[in-house]
Amino acid sequence: MDIRHQLGMMLVIAGVVIILAGLGLMFIDRVPMIGRLPGDINIHGRNWSFHFPLVSGIIISIILTVLINLFFRR
């Protein structure tokens, strides 16, 4: 396999990943618990607010790790 073929495959895979990430961002609001789990940090002031989805990020990371290991295991 030459370098052009490998580069083309990498670009196609990157494009698919970007499309899936975009679709995920569009529909993330329909998942009721993401961002509202116990352990997610919400601080509200008079004119500002701070939101840090700590537990939601950990859960998403675990799910993605399992999926990546299932699909790319050699």
CA distance 6 to 37: 41
pLDDT at 47: 94
Residue 12 pLDDT class (50, 70, 90 cuts): very high
Could you report the per-residue pLDDT of 24-65, keeping only the tens digit for each? 888 877 777 777 888 899 999 999 999 998 998 898 899 889
**Cβ atoms of residues 37 and 59 within 8 Å:** yes
Reply yes or no on whether the pLDDT at 10 is more than 80.
yes
Q: Where are the domains of the chain?
A: 1-30, 36-74
